[in-house]
Chain A
Amino acid sequence: MTLLKQIARQAALQGEKCAYRSRGGALTYTQLWEKAAALAGFLAGQDSPVLVCGGKEPLMPVCFLACLLAGRPFVPCEADAPPERLAYIREASAAGTILAAAPAPPALAGPCLAEAPEIERLCAQTPPIRELPANPGRDAYILFTSGSTGRPKGVRIPVSALEHFTRWFSGLPGCRDCVEDTTINQARFSFDLSVADLWPAWAAGGTVFALDSTQQADLALLYAALGESGGARLTATPSFLRLCLCDAAFCQELLPRLRCVFLCGETLPARTARQFRERFPGARLLNAYGPTEATCAVCTAEITGEMEPLPVGEVATAASELLILGPEGEPLPEGEPGEIAIAGPSVGRGYIGAAGGGFGCWRGRALYRTGDRGKIAAGRLWYLGRIDRQIKYKGYRIEPGEVEGVLSTWPEVHAAAVLPLRRRGEVLGLAAVVEWAAGPLPPEECARRMRASLPSYMCPRVWQSVSPMPLTSNGKQDLKKLEELLQHE
């Protein structure tokens, strides 16, 4: 059964049951379906992407479902994203309609913009869409992720991959027993970890309880929200679980129904896993792995005893085939480290308007080479870092080249390199090492300009001047020397 048919069935069966709840309000299954079907009636007839902008307002999931129903890909983005980035995403995605659940920033103004009151009017007054779209090969969503060439790149995920992910996730031990229950959503909708919240929950008739950024920034608010969530499942980044665990208030008494935590997006520290298991002896902990290009996650390992380093997945239960490839793209034998690649129905359709990147073909199936180093041993996958310079920070993927690309447009900058700030291998943020054309700009001015172009997690926290920029013998920036320079500051 297709995902949309499953949700339609749940809408009929569950009726007044809550489908989605956040501080902005709640939606029953009937409301979710009726609003989305009406909005889809408005959206149908075109096939260009729809930019959906906002935070955790209940209109956001209505817009996503409406886009799926209308057969148009949705492009989720945050209302508080930097204006330059929003303008770029709007242009690069060639969005023909913009739906803003939160007040729209000026970068999205124009005749194709509908803001919340207009969306509500459309939901109330448009005749609903009659037929569910066919063609599972169409794009379900386009997600923009950091690009090494200086601009974010839009990853195209087809409906077939979203449906495959939803089926796989809903059958995972641990998830299977609680998809019909309440799931707690942490991830922003512009981060594809949220895919694991909305679609499996609605396919099974469950409730999504979404935490907004204000609740996540204040521990007292966060624990109060968790306490009233009734959550049975939490999907989160390891950083978020760690934040929750920093106070003893986060324990089984606060979340008596919690049975499963699904973690993805970055390395899970063994300490966090241990603390969680001590505080929640009755819950299962799943450590998952997967890039945005292969639909949220492709494998998962249940963390049980003392195992270090922690595996990121089981090969046998993976959503697509996991491969370890050598430098020439040849598969490597078990135990040998190489590049992690994914082949099968999880793999997306490439990037919009760009060359192939890591996308390719493997024995007639779609392949994605992740750029992650890893190894497979004893049926499990281990993540061993990156092949290139990509940085993972708080679950976000950052290409230093994108930040350097912004710096290179400043006339005051002669040369710039962006590096991770590390503590025992863990990334604490970014540092910009700059060779200035004349004198350095004040750090406040640097920060102000950065915020106009990049999300806060991509803005360097440390500014270091060098003169001249150290170069290797073949004339490239000497990144090793620069890392040493930062460590000795």
Chain B
Amino acid sequence: MSEKELQQLLRELLPLACGTPDAIKPGTDLLKTGILDSLGLIILLDELADRGIEIQPTQVELSRFSSLEGIAALCREALEQQGPAGQ
């Protein structure tokens, strides 16, 4: 998955998981604003898992979910760890 594809995927998934387009407003802190709550996080993780990206939330700092860029980095790490089969 290219960087551009990953960004595009998250721009689709975040508003879907959070229920609001505010989720991809630049500079929004998804956690502090409560836009990404526990239910949103579960939906996001499920949607990513369906696309072969498995993030274990207890293995990473929760604060990394506060922005689209942070989540993109987590996805890249997960894909690298899973190796080519995960992609």
Residues of A within 8 A of B18 (CB): 428
CB within 8 Å for A421 and B43 given contacts A217-B38, A243-B38, A246-B57: no
Complex CA gap A242/B45 in Å reads 11
How close is B49's CB to chain A, nearest CB, in angstroms?
9
Binding site for A on B (CB under 8 A): 16-22, 34-35, 37-43, 45-46, 56-59
Q: Is B42's CB under 8 angstroms from A242's CB?
A: yes
CB closest residue in chain A, given B45: A246
> Is A489 on the interface with B (CB-CB < 8 A)?
yes
Q: Is A461's CB under 8 angstroms from B34's CB?
A: yes
Q: Is B39's CB under 8 angstroms from A239's CB?
A: yes
How close is B62's CB to chain A, nearest CB, in angstroms?
8
Q: Is B19's CB under 8 angstroms from A246's CB?
A: no
> Is A248 on the interface with B (CB-CB < 8 A)?
yes
Q: Is B58's CB under 8 angstroms from A394's CB?
A: no
How close is B7's CB to chain A, nearest CB, in angstroms?
20
Closest 9 CB pairs of A and B: A428-B19, A421-B19, A247-B58, A462-B20, A247-B56, A219-B58, A246-B45, A246-B42, A242-B42
Show 24 residue pairs from A and B whose CB-CB distance is below 8 angstroms, ordered by the A residue: A220-B58, A223-B58, A239-B39, A239-B42, A242-B42, A246-B45, A246-B46, A247-B56, A247-B57, A249-B56, A394-B39, A421-B20, A422-B19, A423-B17, A423-B43, A428-B17, A428-B18, A428-B39, A428-B43, A461-B35, A462-B19, A462-B20, A462-B22, A489-B21
> Is A476 on the interface with B (CB-CB < 8 A)?
no
> Is A429 on the interface with B (CB-CB < 8 A)?
yes
Binding site for B on A (CB under 8 A): 217, 219-220, 223, 239, 242-243, 246-249, 271, 394, 421-423, 426, 428-429, 431, 461-462, 489
Complex CA gap A461/B20 in Å reads 8
Residues of B within 8 A of A426 (CB): 43
Q: Is B46's CB under 8 angstroms from A423's CB?
A: no
Residues of B within 8 A of A220 (CB): 58
How close is A265's CB to chain B, nearest CB, in angstroms?
14
Q: Is A271's CB under 8 angstroms from B58's CB?
A: no
Partner of A248, one of B34, B41, B56: B56
Residues of A within 8 A of B40 (CB): 428
Q: Which of B19, B39, B40, B41 neighbours the largest number of chain A CB atoms within 10 Å of its CB?
A: B19
How close is A425's CB to chain B, nearest CB, in angstroms?
12
Complex CA gap A489/B22 in Å reads 10
CB closest residue in chain A, given B44: A246
CB closest residue in chain B, given A269: B46
Residues of A within 8 A of B35 (CB): 461
CB closest residue in chain A, given B22: A462
Q: Is B43's CB under 8 angstroms from A219's CB?
A: no
Q: Is B20's CB under 8 angstroms from A219's CB?
A: no
Residues of B within 8 A of A242 (CB): 42
Residues of B within 8 A of A462 (CB): 19-20, 22
How close is A133's CB to chain B, nearest CB, in angstroms?
41
CB closest residue in chain B, given A462: B20
Residues of B within 8 A of A423 (CB): 16-17, 19, 43
Partner of A461, one of B17, B19, B38: B19
Complex CA gap A209/B38 in Å reads 22
Residues of B within 8 A of A431 (CB): 19
Q: Is B34's CB under 8 angstroms from A246's CB?
A: no
Residues of B within 8 A of A223 (CB): 58
How close is A461's CB to chain B, nearest CB, in angstroms?
6
Q: A429-B19, A489-B21 are in contact. List 15 more A-B contacts (CB 8 A).
A: A217-B38, A219-B57, A242-B42, A246-B41, A246-B42, A246-B45, A249-B58, A423-B16, A428-B17, A428-B40, A429-B37, A431-B19, A461-B34, A461-B35, A462-B19
CB closest residue in chain B, given A444: B33
Residues of A within 8 A of B45 (CB): 246
Residues of A within 8 A of B39 (CB): 239, 394, 428-429
Residues of B within 8 A of A489 (CB): 21
Q: Is B56's CB under 8 angstroms from A243's CB?
A: no
How close is B81's CB to chain A, nearest CB, in angstroms?
13
Residues of B within 8 A of A461 (CB): 19-20, 34-35
Residues of B within 8 A of A246 (CB): 41-42, 45-46, 57
How close is A417's CB to chain B, nearest CB, in angstroms?
16
Complex CA gap A462/B42 in Å reads 19
CB closest residue in chain A, given B54: A248
Q: Which of A217, A394, A431, A462 neighbours the largest number of chain B CB atoms within 10 Å of its CB?
A: A462
Complex CA gap A489/B56 in Å reads 32
Complex CA gap A239/B42 in Å reads 9
How close is A122's CB to chain B, nearest CB, in angstroms?
38
Complex CA gap A338/B42 in Å reads 32
